[in-house]
Structure 1
C-alpha cells in the first residue's frame, strides 16, 4: 500500500471518528469528562483470578482498545494498560441492548473502563466478563496498523507514544530501564548513600572536557552553561560532611550523535568518603550483579553486537592500560618511543591520527579504536595516563598514571571511577594544565571548597543510557531513551534533497 493511500485512509478515519464524537456530544455524553474507578491493572487482575472459580472475583480495569473480535451478539476485545493486555468479553443480554450498540460504535484506540467478573475461556485465557463499561476517552486518529505501522525509525522516535502502543518490545525495554534506575536507587540507599540534587545551570562547565550548551539568565543578567558533569558539585557535598552521596541526573554535551551518544544523557555519579578506586570496584561489581540477579533474573546476557555471552557472575578481569597498549601494538617499549614512531605505529594499526595531537591522545586513539571494542567481558582497565583525567590522584608507583579504572563491558566504557584528588594545590595545577590559555574555565569556587578540606574518597560515574543498551540488548542509545534528540522534519527533508 502506498504512503498516499495510507494517508487517505487515515484522513477518512479521522473524519469518521470526529463525527462519532459529535454524535456523542449531541446525545449529551462527553467522553473526555467521563471517569472510571480502576481497581486493577491487567496483570494484577489476572493474578487475582482463583483457578477453577469463575465469576468469583470482581475487577474494574481500564485501558486502550487494541483488538476487537465481533461475534455478533458478543464481543471479545483486548485493552492495553501499563502492565500489558487483558481480554474483555461483552454479551448483549448482559450489558443491555443500548449499551451493546454503543460499544459496537467504538474504535481501536479508544479508552474504556470496564467492570465485571473474572473467568477462564476454553483456551485458558483469563478474561473479564463485562457487566458495565464506560468510554473515557475518544481516539480521533487511528493507531498504526500492526504490520504496516511504525516501520520508519524516525517516526518511532518522533511519535514514541505510538511506538509504545504498537510495539511490545519498546514498551518492555523502556519499562526495564525504569526498573533498572529504581533498583540502583534502592541498592545505594541500602548502603547508606544519600541521593542529592545539584545545579543543572552552572557558571563553569566543570568535571569533564566537553563542549557545553550555553544559555542566558535574564533575571541575573549573566550567561550559564548546562552542566556537562555532576562531579564538582557532588564533591562539594563531601566537603560539607556528607560521606556517601549519589545523583542520577541529566548532563548535556553539545557534541555529536551516534549509536552510543546523545547530547542529553543520564548519569549516575557516586562518591564515598574514606574509600578509593578499589572500593568503587567492589561497589560497581556488587551493583551490577544485584541488577542482573534481581531485575534481569540472570547473571548471563547475550551481547547484541557480537553474539557473545557476557557473564556477570564470573571473574572480572583487571588489566593495566599500558599492558593493553603494549599488547595491541606488539611493542613493549611503546611508551618510550618518540612521537613520530607512535604516529607511524598508530597508522600501521589503521588508526587515523592528527600529527598535532599530544602523544597521550595518539595512544588513546589506539585504545578507543582497537582495544576497547574487543573487551566484551567485564574488564577493569586501570592506571590510565594522568592527562586523561585531572581530577584523580596520581599513582604512587607510576606518577605518569592515575589511580583509576574504566569498567568496559560489551566493548563500551560503562563506568569510570577513581581515587579522588583532594589536594587543592595539586588539583589547581592539574586544572591549569588542562585549561591551558583558557583559565576562565577553571572552577575557582570548587578549588576554594577543596581548601576547606575534603576527605579522601572514591568516585564513580555510570552512563545509565549505555548501561540500559547493554542490559536490554538494544541496538542504539535512541532505543533506551524515550525522546531522543532529532533533526526537525524540515531539516531532514533538506538533507534528502
Structure 2
C-alpha cells in the first residue's frame, strides 16, 4: 500500500515538473503561525473583521477536510499549527482544483486574510495557495507519530513533525544549554573550543575511537573528555574556562549511554572542590526553577527536590543507609568486601585498594538509591587519577559526584597540579594499560610539561548534558534526548 501511495505522489510530482512548478523558492512568508497566534489569538471576531490583516504563511499540511464548498486545511509551521479556509470563490476554479490534488505532508504557501471562525479558531481565509514542496513519502498513520521507538530514532525528521511532545523535549534541551551558557558567561568564564582529534585520549578513563589523518599520516583519537586541554588554558592565563562539546567513548550502548554525547566541562582557578559543589547547586537549582517555576521536578513517577543544599554522603555511608545489615567494620574489611563483590558477580578485585572496593560495592548496592540530589564525597584517591589528594588523608581525593534519580550527573574535584605527582600517577596508569586495562590513561608528556610551567590551584567539573536533559524532560532513555542517536545499521547483524 505504501508503495502505491508513493507511486501516486511520484506521478503528481512528474506533472509538476512538466509544468515547471516543482520546488519553487520564491515564496516569502510575512508571518509565522506562532507570531499570529501570539498577536491575535485573544482577539474576537469583530475586532479582526474591523481591522483585517493580510498575511502570508507557509507550512506542512497536517489535516485536510472538506465541508460543502469549502476546504479546511491545517498546516504546521515550526511546530505551531494554523488553519486555512479555502473556497472556490476565494481561490478560483484552478486554484481550488489544485488544492484537491495536494496530499498530507506537502508544504504549501498561503496568502490571505486573518479571521476567526464561529468556533473561535484563528484562521487564514485563503486568496492564493501555492504548492512549495511535494512530499513523496506518505506520513505515519494519521500523522499521530511512529509507534516503534526505533523507527522514531531512525526517522527523527518524521517523528518531530508528527509528535509535538517529542519536539518539546528538544526545545527544552536547547533551553538547558542556553541557561548553562548564560550562567557561566555571567560569571566571567571564557567559552573555549578544544580539539576533538587528540594524539592522546586523556581526561577520563574510557575506551576511545581511533581515526587516521592522511595529511599527517598519524592516528588520532576522538576526544573522550575536554579536561586536560581546558587545564592547559588555565596554565596559559585564563582563570575561568568552560566548554560544551561532543565527546566520544567506544563503549556500551544503553538507556544511559550513547557513543557520542555532550558534556559541559568547566574549570576555575583558585577554587576547590567545596566551591564547585556550591556552583553545581546554584547551576542546577537555577535551571530547575527556570524550566519549571519551582524547585521540584518529577522523573519517572518520582519527585526530586532541588532545594539547596543537596545532601552529602560517602560511599560507605550510602551503603550503610541502604543495607543496615552490613556493619561499618565490615566495610573496612577487604576480605569481606572482596567476598561480597564476588557474590555480586565482580571477580577481578585482587588489585583494588580498600577505597576502590568500597566504591565498587557502592555502585552495586547503593547508587540506585540516591534519588534526591546528593553529593557523593570522600572518593578513593586510587580511583581519581587527576584529582588532588586531601592534605589530611592522601588516600582520599578532593572529589565529588552528584547523583539524582539513581544516576551520576556531575563529576568534580580539586585538580591535581603537582607535575611530579601527576607524572607518577600517569606512569601507574600506563602500567595498568600495558597489563590489559583498556580504560587506563596514557602517559601524556605534553600535559606534564604544561604542569611544569605552573597550573594555578583550581577545581574542575563535568556535567553530562544528555542525562541532565533526560532528567528534566522526564525521558526514560538517552535516545529520547539525542536527535540522532547511534543505531545499528538497517540490515546489520
1:232 Cα shift? 0.4
Deviation, structure 1 residue 163: 1.2
How far apart, CA to CA, are the structure 2 residues paired with 1:40 and 1:431?
59
Q: 1:47 maps to what in 2?
A: 38
SS at 1:354 equivalent? coil
| Counterpart for residue 129 of structure 2 | 133
For 1:318 and 1:384, the matched residues in 2 are separated by 12
Quote the offset at 1:315 in angstroms.
4.0
Partner of 2:275: 279
**Deviation (angstroms), 1:100:** 1.3
* Displacement of 1:435: 2.3
Alignment of 1:250-399 (within 5 A): 250-304=246-300, 307-313=301-307, 315-328=309-322, 330-338=326-334, 340-347=335-342, 350=344, 352-356=346-350, 358-359=352-353, 360-399=355-394
More deviation, 231-240/328-337: 328-337
The 5 Å alignment of 1:84-483 reads 84-146=80-142, 150-304=146-300, 307-313=301-307, 315-328=309-322, 330-338=326-334, 340-347=335-342, 350=344, 352-356=346-350, 358-359=352-353, 360-436=355-431, 438=433, 441-483=442-484
Tell me the equivalent position of 1:65: 61
The alpha carbon displacement at 1:183 in A equals 1.7
What is the alpha-carbon distance in structure 1 between the residues aligned to residue 452 and residue 10 of structure 2?
Answer: 67
What does the per-residue CA deviation read over 1:7-33, in whole Å, with 9 as the maximum and x for residues that have no partner? xx1111111111111222223322x12
Q: Hey, what's the Cα distance between the residues in 2 that align with 1:65 and 1:316?
A: 48
The reply on whether 1:26 has 2:18 as its aligned counterpart is yes
Q: Whole-Å Cα distance in 2 between the matches of residues 390 and 270 of structure 1?
A: 18
Compared with structure 1, are the counterparts of its residues 462 and 85 closer, same or farther at alpha carbon in structure 2 (3 Å cutoff)?
same
Name which of structure 1's ranges 355-364 and 133-142 shifts more when overlaid on structure 2.
355-364
More moved, 378-387 vs 18-27:
18-27
8 Å CA contact retained: 1:326, 1:334: no
Q: Which runs of 5+ in 2 are unaligned?
A: 435-440
SS at structure 1 position matched to 2:48: coil
The separation in 2 between residues aligned to 1:435 and 1:124, in whole angstroms, is 71
Q: Deviations over 1:247-302 (max 9, x none)?
A: 11111111000110011111000111111111111211111122122233332111
Distance 1:289 1:87 in 2: 40
Match of 1:5 in 2: none
Match of 1:15 among 7, 19, 22: 7
State how far apart, in whole Å, the 2-side matches of 1:111 and 1:453 are: 59
Q: Deviations over 1:76-130 (max 9, x none)?
A: 1111122321212222212222111111111000001212232222222222222
Task: Give the Cα–Cα distance (whole angstroms) in 2 for the partners of residues 355 and 229 of structure 1.
Answer: 26
Q: Which residue of 2 aligns with 1:487?
A: 488
Q: Tell me the TM-score normalized by structure 1.
A: 0.92
2-side partners of 1:115 and 1:289: how far apart?
A: 46
Structure 1 range deviating more: 196-205 or 139-148: 139-148
Q: Secondary structure at the match of 2:255?
A: coil
In 2, Cα distance between the equivalents of 1:145 and 1:326?
52
CA contact (8 A) 1:48 1:57 kept: no
Q: Name structure 1 gaps, 5 residues minimum.
A: 1-8
> So what's the TM-score if we normalise by structure 2?
0.93
Would you say the 8 A contact 1:383–1:395 is kept in 2? no
1:422, distance to aligned residue in structure 2 (A): 1.2
Q: Is the 8 A contact 2:296 2:306 kept in 1?
A: yes
1:131 to 1:187, Cα distance in 2 relative to 1, 3 A: farther
Name whichever of 279-288 and 115-124 sits farther off: 115-124
The match for 1:82 among 78, 84, 107 is 78
How many Å separate the matches in 2 of 1:238 and 1:206?
A: 17
- Find the aligned partners of 2:385 and 2:214 in 1 and give their Cα distance: 33
Contact 1:346 1:363 in 2 (8 A): no
Q: Distance in 2 between matches of 1:462 and 1:363?
A: 24
1:419 shift after superposition: 0.7
- List per-residue Cα deviations over 1:405-454 (Å, max 9, x = no partner): 10101111000111111111121122222222548921110110111111
> Does the 8 Å contact 2:271/2:457 carry over to 1?
yes
Distance 1:291 1:220, change over 3 A: same
- Per-residue CA deviations over 1:315-335 (Å, capped at 9, x if unaligned) read 411222332244455221245
Taking the aligned partners of 1:371 and 1:81, their CA distance within structure 2 comes to 47
CA distance in 1, matches of 2:482, 2:322: 34
Other structure's SS at 1:293 match = helix
